[in-house]
Amino acid sequence: MGESPTDPAVPAAPAAPAIRRARGEDADALRELLRHLHAEPTRSSLPRVRQEAQTLVATEHGRILGLAVVTLVDYGVEAYGSIEELVVEPAHRRRGLGRALLASCQAWFDSRGVEVVFVSALDERAASFYVREGFRSCTGPWLYRSR
């Protein structure tokens, strides 16, 4: 005779894991997991796990001419930020709006203790702008996925 799905000899399919936001009471478990990535004990801000985002706009006479979207992640090892988007209307470029937006981004990061900021430049003109403003090219274990 065949075994039924309720027969103890047939292993049950694993349940799908529950995914939720980390909470303060998770600090010890998170610290333990992070030891798999970082050999040295972490100087940890846990249990405070922070993920923040902010959209900034540059305006002139009430009209929005540029925007920046910034994010930060701090899971207790080292807070880092990303400039996700920074764009100025083409007709208003080379007037300091991008530089002003970037300075506001940096002030936002500074106020949150972020020391490392990443940005991705899709063309040489954008890359040159960021280099002039103090960014450096980096390499490393970065991977990305695009759809």
Mean pLDDT of the chain: 80
Contacts of 128 (CB under 8 A, 6+ apart): none
Confidence of residue 146 (pLDDT cuts 50, 70, 90): very low
CA atoms lying within 13 Å on the CB side of residue 9: 3
Confirm whether 29 is domain-assigned.
no
pLDDT at 45: 46
Residue 21 tokens read as 């936001």
- Omega before residue 17 within 30° of 0, cis: no
Q: How far apart are CA 116 and CA 123, in angstroms?
A: 22
Domain of 54, in residue numbers: 49-132
Give me the number of domains the chain comprises: 1
Q: Does residue 113 surpass a pLDDT of 80?
A: yes
Residues in a beta bridge with 117: 81
Confirm whether 111 is domain-assigned.
yes
Confirm whether 22 is domain-assigned.
no
| Residue 137 Cα distances to 25, 119, 130, 131, angstroms | 38, 10, 10, 8
Q: pLDDT > 90: what percent of the chain? A: 33
Domain CATH for 68? 3.40.630.30
| CA distance from start to end of the chain | 48
